[in-house]
Amino acid sequence: MKVITSKENKTFKFVKGLLDKKNRENFFIIEGIKNVEEASKAGASFEMLCFSEDRYEQLAESLRISALKIGQTVLFDSSLFSKISDTQTPQGVLAVLDKKEIKPIEKIEPKDVFVVLKTCRIQAIWAPLYVLVPPQE
């Protein structure tokens, strides 16, 4: 697999562009091992799965990427990966998903509400989120 090392690469420019709100029309980024695992469990198909070159072997094994629905797998040089990452200490993996393929969540367990809200805040996804809480008896 080829490693992207240039800032002029169009894949790098595409992913970096998704960090700006104005470029998120059809795609968005999720970042980190836990978020990628959760998206996979939810049945998401990834347009692109991006890895930092130095973390690829370890993460590919732990995420079992052969079982994921991935359009394209991309390796970035470590210094470039830090430029497309939105966190101070990147975990070495991020995914690009298509907004059109996201289906509403049928049921959210009460303990998961905080995780959903925190993830939305971190990823700057400001969409309506309705949580129905059963009355306490």
Cα gap 44→36, rounded to integer Å: 9
Look at residue 7 and give its three-state secondary structure.
coil
- pLDDT value at residue 9: 92
Q: What is the pTM of this model?
A: 0.67
Q: What angle do CA 97, 101, 107 make, to 5 degrees?
A: 105
Q: Which domains does the chain have, with CATH numbers?
A: 3-102 (3.30.1330.30)
- From first to last of its 137 residues, the chain has per-residue pLDDT tens of 778 899 999 999 999 988 887 777 788 888 988 888 888 877 777 888 889 988 888 887 777 766 566 778 889 999 999 999 888 888 899 989 887 655 555 666 665 655 555 555 555 554 555 555 555 55
72 Cβ partners below 8 Å, 6+ apart?
Answer: 47, 48, 49
